[in-house]
A = this chain, B = another copy of it.
């Protein structure tokens, strides 16, 4: 027995040895497979990339080497089913909310304001919007096409802005795409437009030092920001960020600069139109605080076959909750959607309160003017309604119904409500002093058509007055030397 036992054990030993060998081999296979997978990712793809020329604006050319990114980008041509407070579809916001027509009286937004469609439609949509006119500057092309950097390089940035929009009708043909955010040789993210770089410089920051993760938001911030056209002739694209990115900072900037977008046709207030300050609002929210970038939610990673890539069908994360929200938030899809909507519903309620008050204020100031209120009497209320509307617009023009910074947006909307109603208190007293100590019967502006018909004579009167003023100034300029002689 003693003899047999030792003799049977070598067999077990060899078995263990063999099994270990097989295990190590399988581990090697796994490691090799992992390496293969990695080899499929970016660096290897660059190796086999078709060369892309500088300023290549044709997205399909880039697509030859990056078919998945290109195909997903192409999908931005589809309309999303509308969510309650978002999506990219075909909603007519003026029809949904005719108060907007009154709030923008005298500004092109009162003519036409539709829901944005995907990047794929950028060139088509900017060409067709009812906000275009013969005075529209070249600046309006800036964010619409990868053809723009080439044109800016050829003509000069300032010259591009100062030109007329229709000067470039034939040269701008490719919608927002690859070259807007990517380097054509390394595919690295890059800032292709000057306005963001210049805004950083004025804030004493060097955008070249931004990390890759920061760049995943900053490429979006080239366009998804508040901006204005500086200079009556220059129309130089400028971000009002010198004091910082919150709404008070921007209001202070505009107040100091004296810039005005338009004079309100009904109330005569000097107005600023906010333009989708998405990056600014986002930067006040919890996602930015935690280092989550725009792309993390709006361009989540996706897998096809063995390849992981960034989904370029940029849209609301509510359409791809599993790839975006659920990567961090371990809740069900329905719960996530409900929670987003609960936040948005509350902001929408505040937004609507502000709209109602602001609209009424413009109409009441208009009535005070009809009753003979002087500019001196109305200076304060015009200033305060302009500020309240700027507050409202910071949230309203921003995508996401305040979701990107829920508490900050609620704070600002509360301020907008307060400011608009405070204005109305002052106007009530001015109207009373002019013999109308009772509420104004508000006109019926309950549909887009009615609201547009209501503001029409105000806009016409404003245009006529402006023309008369211009002609009077010309006439005065012509007679000036004579006057000097008379003295």
- List the interface of chain A (C-beta within 8 A of B): 5-7, 9-10, 13, 286, 289, 339, 342-343, 346-347, 349-350, 353, 357, 406-408, 410-411, 413-415, 417-418, 421-422, 424-426, 428-429, 432-433, 437-439
The quantity of this chain's copies bound in the complex is 2
Q: Considering the chains assembled together, what is the distance between the CA atoms of A7 and B9 in angstroms?
A: 10
User: A-B pairs with the 8 shortest C-beta distances?
Assistant: A421-B421, A432-B432, A410-B410, A432-B437, A6-B6, A346-B411, A428-B428, A350-B414
- Of the candidates A353, A406, A407, A432, the one having the most CB atoms from chain B within 10 angstroms of its own CB is A407
Are A414 and B410 CB-contacts (below 8 A) given A10-B6, A437-B433?
A: yes
Select A425's contact among B7, B410, B428, beta carbons within 8 Å: B428
Select A407's contact among B289, B410, B428, B438, beta carbons within 8 Å: B410
Q: Considering the chains assembled together, what is the distance between the CA atoms of A9 and B439 in angstroms?
A: 104
Shortest distance between the CB of A26 and any CB in chain B (Å): 24
Are A414 and B9 CB-contacts (below 8 A) given A407-B343, A429-B439, A432-B437?
A: no
Closest to A284 in B: B342
Q: Please state if A410 and B353 are interface contacts (CB–CB under 8 Å).
A: no
In the complex, which residues of chain B have a beta carbon less than 8 angstroms from the beta carbon of A410? 346, 350, 407, 410-411, 414
In the complex, which residues of chain B have a beta carbon less than 8 angstroms from the beta carbon of A7? 6
Q: Please state if B346 and A408 are interface contacts (CB–CB under 8 Å).
A: yes
Shortest distance between the CB of A338 and any CB in chain B (Å): 9
In the complex, which residues of chain B have a beta carbon less than 8 angstroms from the beta carbon of A350? 410-411, 414
Q: Considering the chains assembled together, what is the distance between the CA atoms of A347 and B413 in angstroms?
A: 12
In the complex, which residues of chain B have a beta carbon less than 8 angstroms from the beta carbon of A424? 421, 425
Closest to A356 in B: B418
| A and B contact pairs by CB, cutoff 8 A, 18 listed | A6-B7, A9-B9, A9-B10, A342-B407, A346-B408, A346-B411, A347-B407, A349-B411, A349-B414, A350-B410, A353-B415, A406-B407, A413-B414, A418-B421, A421-B422, A425-B425, A425-B428, A433-B437
Shortest distance between the CB of A329 and any CB in chain B (Å): 11
Q: Please state if B428 and A438 are interface contacts (CB–CB under 8 Å).
A: no
Shortest distance between the CB of A119 and any CB in chain B (Å): 31
Beyond contacts A9-B13, A417-B421: 10 other A-B pairs, Cβ-Cβ < 8 A, are A6-B6, A289-B339, A353-B415, A357-B421, A417-B417, A421-B422, A425-B428, A429-B432, A429-B439, A437-B437
